[in-house]
Each structure stands twice: as C-alpha cells, then as structure tokens.
Amino acid sequence: MAGSSFGTLFTVTTFGESHGPALGVTVDGCPAGLSLRTWDIQRELDRRRPGAHPKASDGSDQDPKLNPASTSRKEADECEILSGVYNDITTGTPITIVVRNTNQNSGDYSDIADAFRPGHADWGFTQKYGCRDWRGGGRASARETIGRVAAGAIAKKFLAEAGITILAWTSEAAGITCEEFDEAEIERNPLRAPCPIKAQQMLDRIVALKAAGDSCGGVITCRVSGNIPAGLGEPVFDKLDALLAHAVLSIGAVKGIEFGSGFESARMTGSTWNDQMRNGTSADKPVFVTNHAGGIIGGLSSGQDILFRAAIKPIPSISIPQHTIDTKGVERTIAISGRHDVCACPRVVPVIEAMTAITLMDLLLRNRASRIY
Ligand SMILES: Cc1cc2nc3c(=O)[nH]c(=O)nc-3n(C[C@H](O)[C@H](O)[C@H](O)COP(=O)(O)O)c2cc1C
C-alpha cells in the first residue's frame, strides 16, 4: 500500500491495522533537542480514545456508555516510544511510537466478512487489492488515526515552543449549530462543542438516532493562533491551504473543507471580501481589518489566525437494514451490529488538530530554507 506517509521534512508514516497486534507511527525529521515525554503523546491519544468524555469530577475517565456519540469499545491505547528519544529529549533520529491493540473483537464484524458496508471503504479496498481485512476495516479503520495523533503531539510541542496554538471544536452536529462560543466549555462536554446548551441538544438528537440505529455527521471548526509568521507555505503546489486540505481530507469521514469565508466567498464582492490592511505596531505586523481569507493569501500565511471548517459525514456502520451485495455479487440486506460511533465529530477534533500541527511543523522547518538573509 502506497501513500501511508505525509510531509516533506517532518515526515509521518502510519502503520498497522485495527485488528493486528499494534498500530503506530514513525516520524522522521524531528529536530534534536525537543523535550518529549510519553505523557505528551498519551494525553493527546486519550482525547482521541472512544468515550474519553466527559471526565468524572476526580479527573478519571467515565464509562464510555455515558457518551452516546461514541462507541462503547473500551480501548486503553497506551503508547510506547521505541526510538528517537533519550532522557526525554528527541535525538534527531526517527521516532517510532506503538500502541498495542487490546480490545478487538473480530466477531463484531463477522456479518460483514463477505458483504460490503454501504458508505464504508470495503468495496473499494476489495476492488483495489483483491483481498480485504474485514475485521474492523483494516487500514480504513479510525484506529489508523492513532499514529496521526501521536505524531501530532510531537508537532504540537514544537509549535508550542514557537508560540503557536491549535484549537478545534464541534461547531455543528446532528443538525444543531453552535453560534455561542465559550472556549472553556469545549473539553467539558462529550461533543467538544463550545456551548453547553447546544451540546445537550446535540446529545439528545444523537441518543434518538442511536436508538433508531442511525448515525449523523457535523462540522468541525479549527483555529490556529499565536505567533504565526507571515509566509508559511510554498506558493505553487504546496500552498498552505492546499496542504491543510490534503492533511484534513485524508482523515476518514471528512468530506469537505473551507477556509475563512469559504463557499460564502462566492456570493461576496471584492470590496466586501478583501481583508484591508492598516498600520500596526511595526511594518511586519500590520493590522488586518477582517479575516475572510482565513489567514491564508497566495498559499501563504498572512500572520492572522488560520481558520477553517471541515464537514464530517455520518458514521457509515448503522443497524438500520440497507441494501448491499456480497463478494459473489448477490444482493443482501445488511444491518450492522457491533460497537460503532454514532457521530464521529468529538473524536475527529483531536485528529484535525494533529494533522494541522503536522502540516504547520513541516512548513515551519521548510521555511528555514526560504532565504539567506
Ligand atoms: C475518529 C473516527 C471515528 C470513526 N468511527 C467509526 C465507526 O465507529 N464506525 C464506522 O463505520 N466508521 C467510523 N469512522 C468513519 C470511517 O473510518 C470512514 O467513514 C471510512 O474509513 C470510509 O472513509 P471515508 O468516509 O473517508 O470515505 C470513523 C472515523 C474517524 C476519523
């Protein structure tokens, strides 16, 4: 299988299947000297884990069943750093991180061993490779994102040292949209939504959909803020928005991305869209009056916040009966049992943050070669 690597200087290669012995990532190109402990990676993996929200009042994880958006699978997802770190400092050599699979139940998937799930990758994988690991989706499983989140944790540390912060949240789920924004609320509710009232409305709809055997999608918003230098990105094929789109659209279930005013831009005029510039504190720190561009112009960062939204489709594995065919081409009706998410949004939030961090770290390193003086 080609295409399991991403990045130019900071290169991330994920490996493993959901029902194999382990999954993980090898990161090449991380500079020596970055402080990195197992906990830096584990805390991000814990955010990705099924049902990791909300935390109990003592800070411990609650029973996944309390989060109806998430699968009831209990996955420990404990990571181990195999290489590239000595005395909690990166050595400049490849960093390999593994997570062993411990709660896999192949029986959950026996009903799809010879039938293709509508909306999932089963059909395409079989046509492409002539064989398929049906136990949990193989490489198309959401567990593949473990490697991305582990690599993203490294990139987030690097970006934090550069004064850059990434924050993503669920801005819409099950048809409910959050207009209010309280940042402190995001990690307090199971949807990772920035408004407790809307989060509850989302959950109520998700509970009803789950009872009906159905699923739903939503929208995730991502904001990069802090000390973003102007000029990040390479202005032809590796534009910042093109690379972020590549990174984010490579996550399962992500179906669209828009930057700044996005598709709404098509209905605006030049005079209302253009982000006008005013004199700032210094010549290299202008003030932009608006941010319709989402912080990216000409494929390069402007120095403003980078803003984008990603559309997340409904979870494909549902227990409502649907038409499909089996591997012999015979028509079947399939109702998928097993432990599946109902809405992927809260679990995709840390994955989007991770892919954004990986993209920005790579471009920050590439930027060091952009000019002599
Ligand atoms: C964090 C996360 C959790 C997911 N959980 C499930 C799940 O429980 N069941 C399922 O069928 N698909 C789930 N998906 C979606 C599938 O992985 C995805 O739809 C599938 O790989 C097909 O790819 P596509 O949707 O990008 O076309 C999840 C995706 C992500 C990123």
**Residue with the larger pLDDT of the pair 140 and 88:** 88
**Would 278 be classed as within a structural domain?**
no
What's the CA-to-centroid distance between 272 and ligand 1, angstroms? 38
61 domain residue, yes or no: yes
Checking if the pLDDT of 59 tops 50, the result is no
pLDDT digits (tens, 9 = 90+) for 277-314: 999 888 888 999 999 999 999 999 999 999 999 999 99
Please report the atom of ligand 1 found closest to the CA of residue 254.
Answer: 26
Domain that holds residue 119: 9-260+295-367
Can you tell me which atom of ligand 1 is nearest the CA of 347?
1
Best of 67, 74, 340 to mutate for ligand 1, by most ligand atoms within 8 A of CB?
340
**Tell me: the pLDDT tens digits for 4-34?**
999 999 999 999 998 899 999 999 999 999 9
| Both tokens assigned to 369 | 């070669």
% of the chain exceeding 90 in pLDDT: 82
| Assigned domain for 4 exists | no
The closest-lying atom of ligand 1 relative to the alpha carbon of residue 251 is 31
Residue 110 has pLDDT above 90, yes or no: no
Please say whether the beta carbons of 345 and 355 come within 8 A: no
Nearest CA to ligand 1 atom 27: 253
Provide the number of structural domains found in the chain: 1
Q: Is residue 116 part of a domain?
A: yes
Residue to mutate, 23, 72, 120, 206, ligand 1, most ligand atoms under 8 Å from C-beta: 120
* Residue predicted with more confidence, 39 or 135: 39
What is the SS3 assignment for 132?
Answer: coil
**Closest residue (by CA) to atom 2 of ligand 1?**
142
Q: How far is the CA of 254 from the centre of ligand 1 (A)?
A: 9
Report the pLDDT value the prediction gives residue 207, as an integer from 0 to 100: 96
Distance 113 CA to ligand 1 centre (A): 17
56 belongs to a structural domain: yes
Task: For residue 29, report the distance from its CA to the centre of ligand 1, in Å.
Answer: 29
Question: Domain for residue 274, yes or no?
Answer: no
Residue 316 CA: nearest ligand 1 atom is 11
Q: What is the mean pLDDT of residues 60-80?
A: 69
Ligand 1 pocket by Cβ (under 6 Å): 71, 120-121, 140, 142, 145, 251-253, 313, 315-317, 340-341, 344, 347-348, 351
Task: Using the mean position of ligand 1's atoms as its centre, give its distance from the Cα of residue 252 in Å.
Answer: 5
pLDDT band at 108 (very low <50, low <70, confident <90, very high): low
pLDDT tier, 315 (very low <50, low <70, confident <90, very high otherwise): very high
Determine the Cα–Cα distance for residues 360 and 224; give it in Å rounded to an integer: 10
Question: Is the pLDDT score of 107 beyond 90?
Answer: no
Say whether pLDDT at 57 is over 50.
Answer: no
- The dihedrals phi and psi of 292, each to the nearest 5 degrees, come to -70, -25
Alpha-helical runs (H) found in the chain: 38-48, 122-129, 145-161, 196-211, 240-249, 270-273, 345-367
Q: Is residue 266 part of a domain?
A: no
Three-class DSSP category at 364:
helix
- Ligand 1 centroid to residue 83 C-alpha, Å: 30
Atom of ligand 1 nearest to the CA of 339: 8
> 182-191: long-range contacts at Cβ-Cβ below 8 A with a sequence spacing of 24 or more?
187/53, 188/54, 189/53, 189/54, 190/53, 190/54, 190/66, 190/67, 190/68, 190/69, 190/70, 190/346, 191/69, 191/343, 191/345, 191/346
What distance in Å separates the CA atoms of residue 269 and residue 278, rounded to the nearest whole number? 20
What is the pLDDT, as a whole number, of residue 103? 73
Output the pLDDT for position 137: 80
- 268 falls within a domain: no
Rounded CA-CA distance 27/232 in Å is 21
For residue 188, the CA-to-ligand 1 centroid distance in Å is: 24
**If you measure from the C-alpha of residue 350 to the centroid of ligand 1, how many angstroms do you get, rounded to a whole number?**
14
CATH number at residue 302: 3.60.150.10
pLDDT at 112 over 80: no
